[in-house]
A and B are shown apart, each in its own frame.
Chain A
Amino acid sequence: MSEAVSLKEVSKSYGEIQAVKDLNLNIPTGIVYGLLGPNGSGKSTTMKMMLSLVKPDSGSISIYGVDPQKDPLAVKRMIGYVPETLRLYEFLTSWEYLEFLCVIHGLNPSEEEPRIKEFFEAFELKGHENEMMGGYSHGMKQKIAIISALLGKPKLLILDEPLSGLDPKSAKIVKDLLTELSKEGVTTIFSTHVMEIADAICDKIGILYNGKKIVEATPAEIKKMANVPGSSLEQVFLEITGSSELKPIVDALIGKSDKH
């Protein structure tokens, strides 16, 4: 299997904060790769570097053999991206927006119409095509972002917490879709804080902690790492990110709020 994404000794810091430290990643073509880690562990920064949105301080990145800093356009052509913070063009209707994306991706909007309609049907967005997106609910916007990422038929999907805000049915659709796409050879990198999702669909998981990759393995292998056999992915995650002993923390929080 050839490599879809490879990062070699990539580092990035913001002032004194090291967001990503000497990160090595090798993601083979066609798998679903879960990027996990606590808040601020460098997941989004890593993804933005793959997209050329953020320039790494050192190290090298290759997306299907292309360096994002050298040829951003070529890399962007291969990637469908869902950002973690959503800011759609509020005053466009979703149809107008998707039509725009078609043009950008060199697709013919009228030819793509049936496909877009299917998406709308599946995500229960039908009837909202001609509404401005500013009026959408959070979940509806998220759905549009996912459709946008898939529209250009990318080889690589970079999804930053794509399921946040989705109802169970839509989340299930996305999960099934990612599994299907993976069979067709599309590579997916996605971040999530929901361990069950990672467990269910990831072929491989990388856990970041303070900008460093501390574990990389399949979900099954990770579960075996637990001290207690039969642990869930969540328990292992908490264990290896050093946050399994939460009771004192929670107690302290309650104690603090009691005083008020």
Chain B
Amino acid sequence: MNLVTSLKIADILILASARVKSTGMKVKSKTSIWEYTNFTMAAFFAILSCAGVFYAVQNYGISSIMVKLIFDQIAFFIPVGVTFSCIIFAVFYEFNQSTFNISLDAINWLPISASDYVLGSSICTLYFSLPILGLAYGASLILALMTNSLMVWGLSLFLGIVGGLIGGFATEILRALTNKASTTLFKKGGRASIIGRFILYMVFLSAFMIIFNSVVILQIAEWFNIVAGGAWFFPLFWPSLAVLSLQTNDLLMSLVYSSLSLLLAGIFFVTGSKIRERNWVPEPVSSVISSAETLKPLATSKGFLGFGRVEAKIIEKDFRGLIRRRELMVYLAVPFIMIIISIVSEGLGVLFDPAAHPTEKVGLFGNFGLGVIYLVYFLSIISIGQEGGAAINLLTAPIKPSNIARAKLISALILPLIIFALMILSIIIIVKPDTSLLMLSIVFGLSCITETSEVGLILGSRFVDYNEVPRARFVRPEGIIAGIIVVGMILLSNFATLWFAEDLELGVVTVPAQALMIAFLGLILNIAFLKILPSNIKHGLEKAPI
């Protein structure tokens, strides 16, 4: 292992994506420290949260006991929180490596040792979580100063970084394992193997995200009647337990857990390097579909569902991509993971509780609905960027942006709408709500789903990232964050109409009025978004690499 090489690799991975901006190719003077914007952002967030917390404590008369309590909780949660957020981030953002052309990325043929790469890549992951770290550490620093617990804060900072690296290493293990799986299992090609690979990846990703999900872990701990402090049986909690021990002045245990955490990081690192060494590149997927099953076009010459031929072709292409491109599969896996996690954490008991009000039962489906929103959000926000180097085809094809917009909307909507329909069906079967509540659910769901798809497409075009090496990301991080904020606002404004309902507590919703309000809001938003969509798509496509 060579730290200089690892840092250089991290540097290249960071710069190659941090520079993706709308301004196009510029002449650069020498790289300056200001290009590493996440350091500045982290510092900014740290100061902001520091000041914010200070102001809040001063002005809202929060007692010192309370301050201590809050600090203890934050300091405990940081290491484990950083680990999990690094994993989530990495799976979403760092995992996206195109399998189709392994000779695209110089990393694969340069003499880079597996361990240098694993460390470099994990440092890069950590770098991208810096702003969140800044927020957490800023807030906790001021609390630490107030409660005189700088030691605890320092340990929490250090172990947070260790936790982040563990998260990065874990992702490398997952990446290498999927490389291995696709090499060993799916040599033959053909439709069966494409589908097999798809299912395997989904299972892999879901299992991974669930294993590394804190909600699930804590839930399991609860099932086993273990308090958080006793979560020693789950190694990813060790860094946090080290902090907890120091808080309770148990220096010995703190030392033990700290050492265990470092050991754990070491084990993850060695495992990641070893697995990667043996499975450096995914075998190029055999893109051959056996001659017996030649492509049967979904789209006929007349088009599809009343759409023109070209639009239908785009939709068809997008669908094939979803099950064939590994870098896209993660976006399909997430909603299912969310549904599973919400089932694990909330249970399904309320559904079969005769005393529970229908609204409550339908509300439970809201959790699943959030999964659908995630799905439609990600499918639409990556929709333009996933064209990658081929985007030029859309730009030069004789199609109007409004037709591309339609096709892209449909391909982002079909799957979520099918799932939504199934959800409504299960609501009807399980909850048996009255017509008005059912109507409200449908209008609410449709409204949120369509609006989200439009926002996703708009921001996905605005913040498009066509780069395919070193990572295929499809959209810049600012875009994802902006989108989450906008979609959050949309969901809230849809919810806001519910607040006007009388006696919501009792579940007596004045439904027709409710549904009308949502429908009206949805109509306005949909029209507005659809209006600005084509020009945004055009703008995004014009940035296509030529």
Contact = CB atoms under 8 A, between A and B. Distances in A.
Nearest to B116: A104
Contacts of A89: 12, 16, 106, 469-470
A217 interface: no
A15 B286 contact: yes
A92 interface: yes
B472 to A, nearest CB: 11
A48 B103 contact: yes
A77 B468 CA distance: 25
Contact of A87 (B5, B105, B287, B291): B105
A105 B12 contact: no
A52 interface: yes
B5 A54 contact: no
A76 B4 contact: no
A76 B290 contact: no
Contacts of A15: 188-190, 286, 288-290
A104 B183 contact: no
Contacts of B291: 16
A14 B286 contact: yes
A134 B111 contact: no
Contact of A105 (B111, B114, B188): B111
How many residues of A sit at the interface, in one of the four size bands?
Answer: 35 or more
Contact of A85 (B24, B29, B101): B101
A93 B30 CA distance: 9
Contacts of A130: 27-30
Interface in B184-203: 188-190
A83 to B, nearest CB: 4
Given A92-B15, A92-B16, A134-B545, A148 B27 contact: no
A84 B109 CA distance: 13
A134 B189 contact: no
A152 B111 contact: yes
Given A73-B113, A91-B20, A131-B28, A53 B190 contact: no
Given A83-B104, A152-B111, A92 B12 contact: yes
A81 B109 contact: yes
Nearest to A48: B103
B111 A131 contact: no
Contact of B8 (A52, A76, A81, A100): A100
B16 A53 contact: no
B183 A84 contact: no
A72 interface: yes
B384 to A, nearest CB: 17
A101 interface: yes
B281 interface: yes
Nearest to A154: B111
A91 B467 contact: yes
Given A87-B105, A96-B31, A16 B290 contact: yes
Contacts of A87: 101, 104-105, 389, 468-469
A167 interface: no
Contacts of A76: 109-112
Interface string B394-413: 00000000000000000000
A96 B281 CA distance: 25
Contact of A17 (B15, B101, B288, B467): B288
Given A55-B283, A89-B469, A79 B109 contact: yes
Contacts of A163: none
Nearest to B20: A91
B110 A104 contact: yes
Given A54-B102, A91-B20, 13 more contacts: A14-B284, A14-B286, A16-B189, A16-B290, A53-B281, A76-B109, A76-B110, A87-B469, A89-B470, A92-B12, A93-B28, A105-B111, A134-B545
Interface of A: 14-17, 44, 48, 51-55, 72-73, 76-77, 79, 81, 83-85, 87-93, 96-97, 100-101, 103-105, 130-132, 134-135, 148, 152
29 contacts: A14-B189, A14-B287, A16-B288, A48-B103, A51-B109, A53-B102, A53-B109, A53-B281, A54-B283, A73-B111, A87-B105, A87-B469, A89-B469, A90-B25, A90-B467, A91-B15, A91-B16, A92-B12, A93-B28, A96-B12, A96-B15, A104-B8, A104-B9, A132-B26, A132-B27, A134-B25, A135-B25, A148-B106, A152-B111
